[in-house]
Structure 1
Amino acid sequence: VTDGKQVAILVPTTILALQHYQTFSKRLEDFGVKVDYINRFRSTKEKTEIYQKLKSGEIEIVIGTHAILSKSIGFKDLGLLVIDEEQKFGVAAKEKLRSLKVNVDTLTLTATPIPRTLQFSLMAARDLSVIRTPPPNRQPIHTEVRVLNEDVIKESIYYEVNRGGQVFFVHNRVKSLLDVAAMIRRLCPDVNVTVAHGQMESDDLEKTLLGFIDKEYEVLVCTNIIETGLDIPNANTIIINDAHQFGLSDLHQLRGRVGRSNKKAFCYLFCPPISTLTSEARKRLKTLEEFSDLGSGFDIAMRDLDIRGAGNLLGAEQSGFIADIGYEMYQKILEEAMLELKQNEFKDLFEEELNDDLSYVREITLDSDVEMHLPDEYVSNIQERLNLYTQLDKLNNESEIDSFQAMLKDRFGRLPKPVLELFEGLRLRWVCKELGFERLVLKNNKLRCYFVENPQSPFYESDTFQKLFQYLASKGGKLQLNIKKNNRHLIVARDGIYTLKQARQLLIQIKEEALEVNK
């Protein structure tokens, strides 16, 4: 700003934009710096005035959500772009930033040091700075893992309220959120309690959050929507119910909502008895309890990656291409390389293991003009959508699909058609894997199934392929299947297939008849 340039600060939510505006205005009021913000709280007239002042250079710092990325907004001389909560924007938004704001210095920030973006996108970050020094007078957050106990809830809420503070109670099930609020009202009848979750109307949700910020309520019962960067210094106790169901990064981010002033903060992680939890859940909770000191974020990041089996990915050992391609892609390449070695050079050594694992296809590509995804209007938060895609990719049977669908209905409402098609595509992939198809294309009502591309694959020596080949080569009549070589691929084609469900039914029929599954 002192060099005569402008600064744009991009944030993921309207509430955060307003909070940053208030903070910047207060801190820069003695320097004569003109600060303003853009979000959907501003009227059309106000936005038009802001756009004009940006073009003239009258506004030096502007804070806003995605609206400030619009090509219709012009800057007199933009010198710096700051992206807060970087992990909330995803690949698409970051690519748009690079194309819209070329030759502008960019600083990306994340409120949590947990490297979530390693799983989802290529950040292409080259310079990394770690802020380990906390603001003056900050104290570590006291973290305890407890079995759900009404006396602890009552005591912790009254302790916080009696010292003039506020409490977050996180319960990530919308269906039973009101029941939890009723329980707290029963335990603490003289305390003002309100509820917030993602299925509320946006105006009601933001009115509730602003009311909590303005201290109209003392307890906020909510889902994990508070995870993104809310700065409420007066809230210094957070109670997280069913903490074992959250990821380590989610828990660390939620815990970061308290302890933002000079008061001692408390975080209670409620879960079933430790002995009943999975090994990974116990490790996550123990990590949060162990690393509660200020500046311990990188220690948590290292432990998180260790729990997931990635080793010391962020340390000095990170070299070569791992930093560029990201954790998930590195793991995938490593697994494929190991499998190739086992199937070729060390075939004799791993013969028993290979016989136990009869899957010749590790990943199936599904290409279709059928719409199958999680729509933006169904799950609005980008990071949440990416989390759900990652979870969905790990489903292995119908029982897990049923549980996942029930969770989606509870949190986001009735499943729209693109989401139902997404599950149908997952089921289709399962059948493809059994038959040895590594790619399936369904476009223009024509189905094409591609066998394993590598002609040296052990699949072509398997009983599965021999039976399929004999069946498909001799089959005529209703199925009208044919086999043809296309470059290096062996393809099974069929016309008149209109839906993913039809494609799956056809492949199941082939599997049952060719492999004699039911005989």
Structure 2
Amino acid sequence: MSRNGQVFLINNRIQNIYEIEALVRREVPDARVAVGHGQMEPEKLEKILLDFVNYEYDVLIATSIVESGIDVPNANTIIINNAQQFGLSDLHQLRGRVGRSNRKAFCYLLSPPLSSLTVEARRRLQAIENFSELGSGIHIAMQDLDIRGAGNMLGAEQSGFIADLGYETYQKILEEAVSELKSDEFSDLYEDDVKNNEREYVRETYIESDLELMFAPTYIPNDSERISLYRELDNMEDEHGIEAFRERLEDRFGKIPQEGDELIRVVGLRHLGKQLGFEKIVLKKGAMSLFLVSDPDSPYYQSATFGKIIRFIQEHPRICDLREKNEKRSLVIKGVPTVKRANEFLRKMLES
């Protein structure tokens, strides 16, 4: 009120909401206070809300019915009583009731000592505290998914183990399982899909390197911002998306340092490696080791893709060394000091 704004006070128990009103009136006698909750007559509740919007009240004590559909530009403070009892998405929605104009806003969460709360309640409160920047909704949604679980697709059970496994890993395992079923047990049903798509001999190409590949804190100081950008980059699927990502990064943070530029190029390297059937690419000590499909009976070794690799070796015998150990094949290419150079070699292979 001293900042010429209005206050939401959220109390989700109707039984004691009028006790809270009496407390506020006693402590702040000059405040114009109103109460709103879902058991009121609709017309009366609507009038109270409209009067609050029109600045006829300073404080609105309400249940969580105000979490959506009400816009009060003058509101600059929200106090949430017993915040530990709210879900993460509810807290995020309630927090969004203030700061909807150019006024600086504050959200206060009232709860018993953290040590007395359940692990889930503590994680919810810590998440809403940590992710306070504009555009944090996706981070909060992912945290909520981690805490509550993604659910069982075939039932009502919550998959709480996902909090330990991580949603992205869970999703990757699920995709691999679906892909395996399509190609094996249900191959007849998905025959057209297999024909229309390029044959994939490896599901993922893994990258190992002793190079410095990162967005340095001196370039992107905010930790959560850096993590978000790492995830976004990891999900890139094509060259157009990678270039658009690079342009946005330069526009926001300036010229990309070498270690950041090399990191961005890793995504393209991974995609090229997958097209060529490499299970793993290792960039160490100025050389690149390419690990081919581990199954020696795989149709990969009769494919046009493998033929391109053989032609590349024949065209560059001085730098290429094809090795086999314990029935596992790898190709070592010398003179590869950077990810950029590695990309150039793999593109040449595809063109062979």
User: TM range, normalised to the smaller chain?
Assistant: 0.5 to 0.7
Deviation, structure 1 residue 237: 2.8
* 1:448 corresponding residue in structure 2: 289
- Number of residues of Structure 1 aligned to a counterpart in Structure 2: 242
* 2:347 corresponding residue in structure 1: 508
Please give the secondary structure, in 1, of the residue aligned with 2:219: coil
> Structure 1 pair 137/487, CA: closer, same or farther in 2 (3 Å)?
farther
* Aligned: 1:490 with 2:329: yes
CA distance in 2, matches of 1:137, 1:488: 72
Deviation, structure 1 residue 396: 2.3
* Aligned: 1:426 with 2:267: yes
> Structure 1 pair 331/505, CA: closer, same or farther in 2 (3 Å)?
same
Deviation, structure 1 residue 349: 3.8
- The one-letter code sitting in structure 2 at the alignment partner of 1:360 is Y
1:239 to 89, 92, 100: 100
CA distance in 2, matches of 1:301, 1:496: 45
Note if contact 1:361-1:438 (Cα within 8 Å) is conserved in structure 2: yes
* 1:197 corresponding residue in structure 2: none
CA distance in 1, matches of 2:237, 2:101: 29
1:341 to 150, 162, 181: 181
> Structure 1 pair 374/485, CA: closer, same or farther in 2 (3 Å)?
same
- The one-letter code sitting in structure 2 at the alignment partner of 1:494 is I
Please give the secondary structure, in 2, of the residue aligned with 1:442: strand
Note if contact 1:448-1:492 (Cα within 8 Å) is conserved in structure 2: yes
Please give the secondary structure, in 1, of the residue aligned with 2:270: helix
**Larger of the two Rg values belongs to structure:** 2
More divergent stretch after superposition (387-396 vs 355-364)? 355-364
Deviation, structure 1 residue 491: 0.9
Note if contact 1:138-1:259 (Cα within 8 Å) is conserved in structure 2: no
Note if contact 1:374-1:419 (Cα within 8 Å) is conserved in structure 2: yes
Note if contact 1:138-1:260 (Cα within 8 Å) is conserved in structure 2: no
Please give the secondary structure, in 2, of the residue aligned with 1:237: coil
CA distance in 1, matches of 2:291, 2:282: 8
1:398 to 239, 250, 255: 239
* 2:15 corresponding residue in structure 1: none
Deviation, structure 1 residue 476: 4.7
CA distance in 2, matches of 1:324, 1:463: 42
* 1:468 corresponding residue in structure 2: 308
Cα displacement string for residues 455-505 of structure 1 (whole angstroms, at most 9, x for unaligned residues):
45453443322x2354256x0556532322123432111112211111111
CA distance in 1, matches of 2:97, 2:312: 67
- The one-letter code sitting in structure 2 at the alignment partner of 1:391 is E
Cα displacement string for residues 176-235 of structure 1 (whole angstroms, at most 9, x for unaligned residues):
xxxxxxxxxxxxxxxxxxxxxxxxxxxxxxxxxxxxxxxxxxxxxxxxxxxxx9xxx9x9
Please give the secondary structure, in 2, of the residue aligned with 1:449: strand
* 2:218 corresponding residue in structure 1: 377
Please give the secondary structure, in 2, of the residue aligned with 1:374: coil
Please give the secondary structure, in 2, of the residue aligned with 1:483: strand
* Aligned: 1:332 with 2:193: no
* Aligned: 1:417 with 2:258: yes
* 1:352 corresponding residue in structure 2: 192
Can you give the 5+ residue segments of structure 1 that lack an aligned partner in the other structure?
Answer: 1-135, 146-151, 168-228, 242-256, 263-296, 514-519
Q: Considering Cα pairs closer than 8 Å and 6+ residues apart, tell me whether 1 or 2 has the greater RCO.
A: 1
Note if contact 2:77-2:106 (Cα within 8 Å) is conserved in structure 1: no
CA distance in 1, matches of 2:186, 2:101: 49
2:280 to 430, 433, 439: 439
| Equivalence map 1:158-169=2 (5 Å) | 159-160=74-75, 165=76
CA distance in 2, matches of 1:352, 1:138: 57
> Structure 1 pair 404/500, CA: closer, same or farther in 2 (3 Å)?
same
Deviation, structure 1 residue 336: 1.5
> Structure 1 pair 398/472, CA: closer, same or farther in 2 (3 Å)?
closer
> Structure 1 pair 260/449, CA: closer, same or farther in 2 (3 Å)?
same
| Equivalence map 1:23-422=2 (5 Å) | 137=61, 139-140=63-64, 141-144=66-69, 157=73, 159-160=74-75, 165=76, 237-239=98-100, 260=108, 311-312=151-152, 317-319=157-159, 322-358=162-198, 359-422=200-263
CA distance in 1, matches of 2:321, 2:221: 44
Deviation, structure 1 residue 372: 0.9
CA distance in 2, matches of 1:240, 1:335: 43
- The one-letter code sitting in structure 1 at the alignment partner of 2:190 is F
TM-score computed with the length of structure 2 as normaliser: 0.57
* Aligned: 1:481 with 2:320: yes
CA distance in 2, matches of 1:260, 1:422: 40
CA distance in 2, matches of 1:237, 1:320: 32
The two structures, once aligned, show a CA RMSD in angstroms of: 4.0
Can you give the 5+ residue segments of structure 2 that lack an aligned partner in the other structure?
Answer: 1-59, 79-90, 111-136
CA distance in 2, matches of 1:240, 1:405: 32
Please give the secondary structure, in 2, of the residue aligned with 1:391: helix
Note if contact 2:286-2:335 (Cα within 8 Å) is conserved in structure 1: yes
Note if contact 2:67-2:97 (Cα within 8 Å) is conserved in structure 1: no
Note if contact 1:366-1:439 (Cα within 8 Å) is conserved in structure 2: yes
CA distance in 1, matches of 2:109, 2:321: 70
Please give the secondary structure, in 1, of the residue aligned with 2:99: strand
Deviation, structure 1 residue 382: 2.8
Deviation, structure 1 residue 395: 1.5
TM-score computed with the length of structure 1 as normaliser: 0.40
